[in-house]
Amino acid sequence: MNPSIHHAPYIRHPNSSRTIMSDTFIALVPLYFMSYFYYGSRVILVGAVSILTCLLTDWLCSYLLYRRINLRDISAAVTGSIISMLVPPSVELYVVVGASLFAILVAKAPFGGTGHNIFNPAAAGLAFATICWNSQMFRYTAPLQHLPINLNETVTFLQRPTATLKLGGVPSLNMTELLLGKFPGPIGSTYTLILFACLIYLITRRAVKWYLPASYIAAVSVVSALHRSFGVGPLESILNELFSGSLFFIAVYILNDPVTTPKYRVARVVYGFCAGVLTMLYRYVSPFELSAVFAILSMNALTPAIDCLCEWIFWRENPSAANPATSDSDAVKGGQSQ
Question: Per-residue pLDDT tens for 19-71?
Answer: 888 899 999 999 999 999 998 889 999 999 999 999 999 999 988 888 888 88
User: Is pLDDT of 330 > 50?
Assistant: no
Q: How far is CA 251 from the centre of its chain?
A: 7
Confidence band for 8, pLDDT divided at 50, 70 and 90: very low
- Give the separation between CA 165 and CA 212, rounded to whole angstroms: 25
Q: What is the pLDDT of residue 234?
A: 81
Cis ω before 9 (30° cut-off from 0): yes
Confidence band for 334, pLDDT divided at 50, 70 and 90: very low
Residue 221 lies in a domain: yes
Residue 96 is part of a domain; what is its CATH number? 1.10.3430
Residue 334 lies in a domain: no
Residue 178 lies in a domain: yes
CB 275 within 8 A of CB 216: yes
Question: Per-residue pLDDT tens for 68-99?
Answer: 888 888 899 999 999 999 999 989 999 999 99
Confidence band for 207, pLDDT divided at 50, 70 and 90: confident
Residue 263 lies in a domain: yes
Q: What is the pLDDT of residue 317?
A: 62
Q: What is the mean pLDDT of residues 301-317?
A: 82
Residue 12 lies in a domain: no
| Structural domain for 103, as ranges | 17-329
Report the 10 Å Cβ neighbour count for 187: 28
Q: What is the pLDDT of residue 271?
A: 94
- Give the separation between CA 229 and CA 293, rounded to whole angstroms: 24
Residue 337 lies in a domain: no
User: Higher confidence at residue 165 or residue 5?
Assistant: 165
> In whole numbers, what is the pLDDT of the chain averaged over residues?
83
- Give the separation between CA 21 and CA 104, rounded to whole angstroms: 16
CB 238 within 8 A of CB 196: no
Total tally of structural domains belonging to the chain: 1
Residue 9 lies in a domain: no
Beta-bridge partners for 327: 264
- Give the separation between CA 34 and CA 187, rounded to whole angstroms: 9
Q: What is the mean pLDDT of residues 260-275?
A: 91
Residue 116 lies in a domain: yes
